[in-house]
Structure 1
Amino acid sequence: MQQGLLAPQKRLGTAGLIALITVLNMTAPLSTDMYLPSFPTMMDEFGVTAGVLNLTLVGFFFFFAVGMLVFGPFSDRYGRKPVLVAGLGLYLAASLACAGAGSIWQLILFRVLQALGAGCMVSVSTALVKDCFDGRMRGTILATIQSMSVVAPMLAPIIGAFIVQYATWRTTFLMLAGISLCSLTAALLLQEPLPPGARLRGPILGSLGRLFVVARNPSFTSLLLVVALIPAGFMAYISVSSYIYQDFFGLSETAYSLFFATNAGVSVLGPLTYIAINRKVPPRLIITGALGLALCGGLAVLLLGRTAPLAFLLSFIPYSFGSSLIRPVSTNTLLSQQDSDTGSASALINFGNTAMGSLGMVLAALPWPDFVTGLGTIAAGCALLALLGWAVLLLSSIPLRGIKEGLSSGD
C-alpha cells in the first residue's frame, strides 16, 4: 500500500487516511437520504406542504454544488487541512442547528449552511486523493472509496426508518453531527499534504479565478463534458425508481426496497471490477466499455423495461454497472490532466457530476408517456452522446494524459 503513496501520514496512517476520505464522500448521500423517511412526520410538525419541505432538499443540492466550487480553490490557496477543518466545523454546527430548528424556514437556512460544509468536505477529499496517491494506486483508492461510498445511499433510508420508529427526525441530524465530529477529529490528525511552496498566491478572488484556468484546459474540460453525461441517466433513475416500481408496476414499499437494493449492490461491483482490471486493461478501453454498457442498458430499458419489474431491473443493470465503472477511471484521468490547481479541478469534477445529475432528475420529471420510457430515453440519449463525444475526443488533436500516450496536457 505504501507504493504510490506521495504524502505519508504518520498519525492517521494510510488506512486512516482512506477511511477519512471515504466518510467525507459519504456525507452527501447520508445528508439527503437518511431523513427522507421522516418527511410525513416533519410535514405534520411544521404544518407545511411537501413542496415547502422539499426546499430542504433543493436548497441542499444547490448550495452543495456551490460549496464544492468555492472551497476547492480555497484549499489550493490555504492548504487542504485548514479548509477541511473549517468545512467540517461548519457542517457540525449546522447539523446541530438543524436538530434544534424551531421552524421550517430555520431548517432550510441551516440546511443551506450544512450543504456548504458538505461541498467543502467532498471537494477537498477528492483533492486529497490526488495529493496523497500516485498513478494506478490513485485509481485503486478512488475505486475503493466509491465502492464503499455506494453503501451510504443503501443504508441511509434504512437507518432513517429505524430512527423514525424509536426517536424523532431531529435524532437524524444529531447522528450526522456525530459522524462529522469523528471526521473532524481525524482531520485534526491529518498532516498537510500541500506544502506552502505549492499553494496559490495572490488575492482571494484570484483563487476562485483558478476555476476558469482549469476550465480552459481542453484536455480536462473535454473529457469532463463527456463523462459527466452518465450521472444524468443514473440520477434520473434514482428520482423516478419509486414511481416506476410502486405506481407503474404496483409493487409494495418492501418489494421496491429489495429491487432498489439489488441495483445498488450492482453499483458496488463497478469500482471493484476497476480495482481488479486497472493494472491490466488500459483506461481507454475501460471508458469505452463502460460507455458501451451504459448505452446497452438505456436501449434495453426502452425495449424491455415496461414488461415486468424484473425485466426493468435487469435492463437497467448494465447502465448502473457502466456508470459505477467509469467514475473512478474518469476521475483519475481527469486529475492527471492538471499538474496544479488540484482543488479547483476536484471542485469542477464534482460540480460537473452533480450538475448533470440534477439535470437528469429534472428531465425525468417531464411529462413522458410513462416514467420507464422517459428514463430509457434519457439513459440511452446520454450514453449515446457520451460515446460520440468520446470518439470525437479520441480522434481529435486534444492531448489526454494516460489515454493518448506521447501527448501531454497543459498545467
Structure 2
Amino acid sequence: MADSKVQPRMGNTGFIIFLALLSAFVPLSTDLYLPALPEMTKFFAVPEIVMNLTLILFFVFYSIATLFWGPLSDRYGRRPILLVGLTLYMLASILCGIATNAYEIIFFRILQAIGGGVATTVATAVIKDVFVGRKQETTLAIVQSMVVISPAVAPVIGSLLLTFISWRGIFFAQALLGLSVIYGSIIFKETHASERGTTSVMKSFGRLGALLINPGFTALLITFSLMSIVSLSYISSSSYIFQNTFHLSSRMFSLFFSFNAIGMLLGPLVYIPLSKYIDRFTIVYTAFGFTIVAGILVMVFGRMSPIAFALTQFPATLASSAVRPPGTYLVLKQEENDNGSASALYSAGGTIFGSVGMVIVSLAEATPVAAIAWINIVMGAVCAVLLLVSMTFLRKKIVV
C-alpha cells in the first residue's frame, strides 16, 4: 500500500489510525460512560434495567443501522455516508449531554447508535476494499488490536472525568470524538467507486438477502456473532458487578475493567504470530475451549472477591477477542463482492447477539457473576459445535 496511491493526505499510519477510530466507535460509545451508569441510575431515580436500556437499545439500533449504512456505502461511496452518519452521531452526543431525564437519554442514545452504526461497517468495508489475502487478515488484526485499547482506557478516562465533571461531560467528550473522526472523513480519499445510476437503492438493500442465502456466509456469521454475547454481557454488567456487588469506587472499577481489557488487546496481538505457524481453525477451537474453562472458573471462584472475578474472567475476554480477526476474515471471505453489505451483516450480527447477552445479565441482576459464568460456558460450547458442523457441511466452500 503506497501513501500516494491510497490515502495521500493521511499516509499509511494515519490511515490505520483512522480505521481504528472508526472501528472503536462501539466501545468508545459505551465504555467511556460505564463508570457513570450507577451514578446516572441514582441521579434519575430509575431501576437499573431502565438505565441499562441506554446500552441495550444502543446496540439494537446500532445493529439495525449498519444494515442500512452498508448497502448505502456500496451505492454512494464510503466517504459521503461516513460524513452523514458521523454528523448525526456528534449531534446526538450533545443532546445526550443536555438531557433532562432518563428517557430522553435513551432516545438520544438511539440516535447516537443510528449515526455511529456507519463507523464499524465502513471501516471493515474499506479494509476489504484496499487489502487482499493475508494482508487483509493481518490489517484486520492490527486495527482490532488498536480498537480494543479503547475498552482499557475509556473507563479510566471516564472515571477521571467524573472527578472533575458530571456524567454529562462524558457525552460531550463523545461529541468531540465524533468531530475528530468527521475531520478524518473530510480528508479521506474514497476507496469504493459509487454505483449511483447503475443500480437502485432497493436493489442495493436486496444484496443483504442475497448474502444471507449463501450458506457458508450465514453459517460462519452466526457462529462468530454468538461470541459477542460473551464480551458484551461482561461489558454491560461489569460496572454493577464491581461497584454494587463488590462495593468498589468508580475509579477502582475502571482499573479492574482495564485489567480485563488487556485481554481484549492481547487477543489479536497473540493471534497474528500464532497464525503463521498454527492453522486458524485450531486457534479458534482453542479459544472456544478457553471460554468454557473461564466460565467454570468464574462459577467456582468468581464470587469470592473482585480480584478473583477479574482473574477468572480474563481467559474468556482474551478468547473472545482472539477469534475476531479470523472470524471477520472467514465471514467476509465467503463473499468477494458487496463489501459494504457483508460488513453490515457482520456488524449487525455481533451487536444483535451481544444485545441478547446484555438483556440476559440485566434480568439476572441479583446474580450477575453466575450469569456471566453460564454465558461463558454455554457460548463457548455452542460456538465450537456450530463451527464443527459448519466445517463438516461446508468444507469445500470455506476458504482457509
- TM-score normalized by the length of structure 2: 0.89
Residue 390 (structure 1) aligns with: 387
8 Å contact kept, 2:270–2:322:
yes
8 Å contact kept, 1:87–1:118:
yes
Q: CA deviation at 1:266?
A: 1.9
- Select which of 210, 213, 216 maps to 2:210: 213
Q: CA deviation at 1:100?
A: 4.1
Q: Which residue identity is paired with 2:135?
A: M
How many residues align structurally?
400
Q: Which residue identity is paired with 1:375?
A: I
Q: Which residue identity is paired with 2:165?
A: A
8 Å contact kept, 2:208–2:345:
yes
Instruction: Find out whether 1:312 has 2:316 as its counterpart.
Output: no
Query: What pairs up with 1:243-392 in 2 under 5 angstroms?
Result: 243-246=240-243, 248=245, 254-367=251-364, 370-392=367-389
Q: RMSD between aligned alpha carbons?
A: 2.9
Give the 3 Å change call, closer, same or farther, for CA 16–257 of structure 1 in structure 2: closer
Once residues 190 and 12 of structure 2 are traced to their aligned partners in structure 1, the CA distance between those partners, rounded to angstroms, is: 14
In the TM superposition, what whole-angstrom CA distance separates every residue of 1:22-44 from its partner, at most 9, and x where no partner exists?
11122222222323444566567
Q: CA deviation at 1:63?
A: 1.7
Once residues 200 and 279 of structure 1 are traced to their aligned partners in structure 2, the CA distance between those partners, rounded to angstroms, is: 43
Give the 3 Å change call, closer, same or farther, for CA 100–170 of structure 1 in structure 2: same
Give the 3 Å change call, closer, same or farther, for CA 260–89 of structure 1 in structure 2: closer
In the TM superposition, what whole-angstrom CA distance separates every residue of 1:119-150 from its partner, at most 9, and x where no partner exists?
01111111111111111112222112222222
Q: CA deviation at 1:179?
A: 1.9
Residue 86 (structure 1) aligns with: 84
Once residues 50 and 241 of structure 2 are traced to their aligned partners in structure 1, the CA distance between those partners, rounded to angstroms, is: 24
Residue 59 (structure 2) aligns with: 61
Give the 3 Å change call, closer, same or farther, for CA 23–301 of structure 1 in structure 2: same
Q: Which residue identity is paired with 1:288?
A: Y
Q: Which residue identity is paired with 2:339?
A: T
Q: Which residue identity is paired with 2:69?
A: F
Residue 10 (structure 2) aligns with: 12
Range with greater deviation from structure 2 (46-55 or 321-330): 46-55
Give the 3 Å change call, closer, same or farther, for CA 243–10 of structure 1 in structure 2: closer
Residue 6 of structure 2 aligns to a residue in which SS? Answer: coil
Residue 135 of structure 2 aligns to a residue in which SS? Answer: helix
Residue 134 (structure 1) aligns with: 132
Give the 3 Å change call, closer, same or farther, for CA 247–55 of structure 1 in structure 2: closer
Once residues 359 and 68 of structure 1 are traced to their aligned partners in structure 2, the CA distance between those partners, rounded to angstroms, is: 17
Residue 156 (structure 2) aligns with: 158
Range with greater deviation from structure 2 (27-36 or 175-184): 27-36
Q: CA deviation at 1:253?
A: 5.1
Once residues 46 and 292 of structure 2 are traced to their aligned partners in structure 1, the CA distance between those partners, rounded to angstroms, is: 41
Give the 3 Å change call, closer, same or farther, for CA 209–261 of structure 1 in structure 2: same
Residue 143 (structure 2) aligns with: 145
Q: Percent identity?
A: 38
In the TM superposition, what whole-angstrom CA distance separates every residue of 1:309-368 from its partner, at most 9, and x where no partner exists?
444333322211111100111101111111111111111111111111111122224459
Instruction: Find out whether 1:98 has 2:96 as its counterpart.
Output: yes
In the TM superposition, what whole-angstrom CA distance separates every residue of 1:187-221 from its partner, at most 9, and x where no partner exists?
12222111246x79433222222111111111111
Once residues 384 and 11 of structure 1 are traced to their aligned partners in structure 2, the CA distance between those partners, rounded to angstroms, is: 46
- Select which of 115, 118, 124 maps to 2:116: 118
Residue 186 (structure 2) aligns with: 188
Give the 3 Å change call, closer, same or farther, for CA 102–8 of structure 1 in structure 2: same
Give the 3 Å change call, closer, same or farther, for CA 67–140 of structure 1 in structure 2: same
Q: Which residue identity is paired with 1:127?
A: A
Stretches of structure 2 that go unaligned for 5 or more consecutive residues are: none
Q: CA deviation at 1:223?
A: 0.8
Instruction: Find out whether 1:234 has 2:209 as its counterpart.
Output: no
In the TM superposition, what whole-angstrom CA distance separates every residue of 1:235-281 from its partner, at most 9, and x where no partner exists?
22223334544555565655544332211112211111122223333
